[in-house]
Amino acid sequence: MTDTVASAERYGDLPAVLHACGFPRWKRPIIRQCFPGRSIVFVPKGRAAPPGAALLLWGTSPLPPAAAPDSTVIRLEDGFLRSVGLGADIVRPLSWVTDRTGIYYDATRPSELETLLATHRFTREERERAAALRARIVAGGLTKYNVGQRRWQRPHNNRRVILVAGQVETDASIAFGCPGEKSNMGLLRAVRERHRDAYLVYKPHPDVVARLRLPGKGEDQAPRWCNEIVVDAVMADLIAEVDEVHVLTSLAGFEALLRGKPVSCYGQPFYAGWGLTHEFLPHTRRGRHLKLDDLVAGVLIAYPLYLSRDGSRLISPEEAVESLLAWRRSTGGREPWWWGIYRVFVRWIAGVR
């Protein structure tokens, strides 16, 4: 398993010129940073790329017009320790992932991450490095977006507390990772039916709270099935206070695993199927039992690319963690006064979907 800084050369057989299709302008410098030493040609959305070109695509985007089905394709997506701020706010990321087989949240087909987790023989050194990285992430209270200001405290009763994490229902992680239930309210109802005496805390997705993405169907009905809705809590602190976390495919489930919490999955996220979660939809391609730090080594060390904040180079996961901590300290955990105005322009330019 290669170090993350070197993992840009996982694709050493790629040509010197790569064609990036349909990317907005703000992502273009990040693409160049991900593939040092290669020339990037940007192809506008809907335009054809040259025959035989190696293609860079975002997420599950379709092939550009006239592209051969067997084209060399690398798919890009946000990483798991992304930023201090939301991706929907167009905050520059500290990590992306690259995948030549599929993409991590698409459970309908294999991905490089799934293949790595299914086949790699993790060494003691890799597990020790992963354990140290995990300990630093947990001690620092880091999550994907590192937003929220309120410190949530569990109620003073003896009831079991379950966090139900909401998602953006139009996201590809729902479309490609949930062959059964696909709605936040369906998830919340299912948790309530199974745990009638528990204290259920529902946390809407921060993109929805920021009005950068549309709420799920019937999400205003959440109080019917939960005891409390938490909006602006720090996710790491919230996870630390609850007894269990239940998700469709939310990354909150992985973040809970890092903190030793039981996780129940109603979809098929990348971290399910390895003997570390409770699943309601078993995954036929996954059956290997991993240690937690095997999962961490694959997900947070081998798979992503980490990016220096100045845009100059790739960095290690350990450097990325320290960079995130410094970034968060510099903000004081607060959004600047003008951020609400900025979001108005983001919604106008990017739309809300």
The pLDDT assigned to 328 comes to 92
Residue 207 has pLDDT above 80, yes or no: yes
186 pLDDT above the threshold of 50: yes
Give the chain's domains with CATH numbers: 5-120+307-350 (no CATH), 145-288 (3.40.50)
Average pLDDT, rounded, for the chain:
91
Look at residue 72 and tell me whether its pLDDT is greater than 70.
yes
Give the model's pLDDT for residue 124.
Answer: 97
- What's the DSSP call for residue 85? S
Phi, psi of 43 (to 5 degrees): -105, 120
Looking at the DSSP bridge assignments, the partners of residue 279 are 265
Cα separation, 4 vs 14, in Å, equals: 18
Beta pairing partners, 64: none
pLDDT at 346 over 70: no
Does the pLDDT at position 4 exceed 60?
Answer: no
Q: Identify which of 188, 186, 189, 169 has the alpha carbon closest to the alpha carbon of residue 177.
A: 169
| CA-based nearest residue to 316, from 67, 31, 81 | 81
Long-range contacts, 57-65 (Cβ 8 Å, 24+) = 57/21, 57/22, 58/22, 58/23, 58/27, 59/103, 59/172, 60/103, 60/106, 60/172, 60/175, 60/176, 61/21, 61/22, 64/21, 64/22
pLDDT computed for residue 114 by the predictor: 98
Which residue is associated with the tokens 């971290």? 271
In tens, the pLDDT along 80-114 reads: 999 988 866 688 999 999 999 999 999 999 999 99
What is the predicted pLDDT for the residue at 148?
83
Question: What does the pLDDT read at residue 90?
Answer: 80
| DSSP code of residue 98 | E
pLDDT given for residue 89 in this prediction: 64
- Nearest of 66, 74, 97, 60 to residue 13 by alpha carbon: 74
SS3 category, 60: coil
- Those residues whose C-beta lies under 8 Å from the C-beta of residue 204, and which sit 6 or more positions away, are 166, 184, 215, 219, 222, 229, 231
Both tokens assigned to 156: 């003073």
pLDDT of residue 217: 92
Given this model, what pLDDT does residue 62 score? 94
| Residue 138: band (very low, low, confident or very high) from pLDDT cuts 50, 70, 90 | very high
Q: pLDDT value at position 239? A: 97
Contact 297, 281 (CB under 8 A): no
DSSP β-bridge partners for residue 176: none
pLDDT for res 338: 47
In this structure, the dihedral spanned by the alpha carbons of residues 27, 29, 33 and 37, taken in order and rounded to 10 degrees, is 120
Query: What's the pTM value of the predicted model, to 2 decimals?
Result: 0.92
Model pLDDT for residues 255-311, shown as the tens digit of each residue: 999 999 999 999 999 999 999 999 999 899 998 999 999 999 999 999 999 999 999
DSSP letters for 7-33? GGGGGTTS-SEEEEES--GGGHHHHHH
Instruction: Say if CB 261 and CB 243 are below 8 A apart.
Output: yes
Give the SS3 label for residue 277: coil
Instruction: Using DSSP bridges, classify how beta strands 304-307 and 314-315 pair: parallel, antiparallel or unpaired.
Output: antiparallel
User: What pLDDT score was predicted for residue 249?
Assistant: 98
Write out pLDDT tens, residues 147-164: 888 889 999 888 999 999
Q: 303-341: per-residue pLDDT in tens?
A: 999 999 999 999 999 999 999 999 999 887 666 644 455
Exposed/middle/buried for residue 343 (C-beta within 10 Å: 0-12, 13-18, 19+): middle
Task: Calculate mean pLDDT across residues 210-214.
Answer: 82
pLDDT bin (cut points 50, 70, 90) of residue 58 is very high
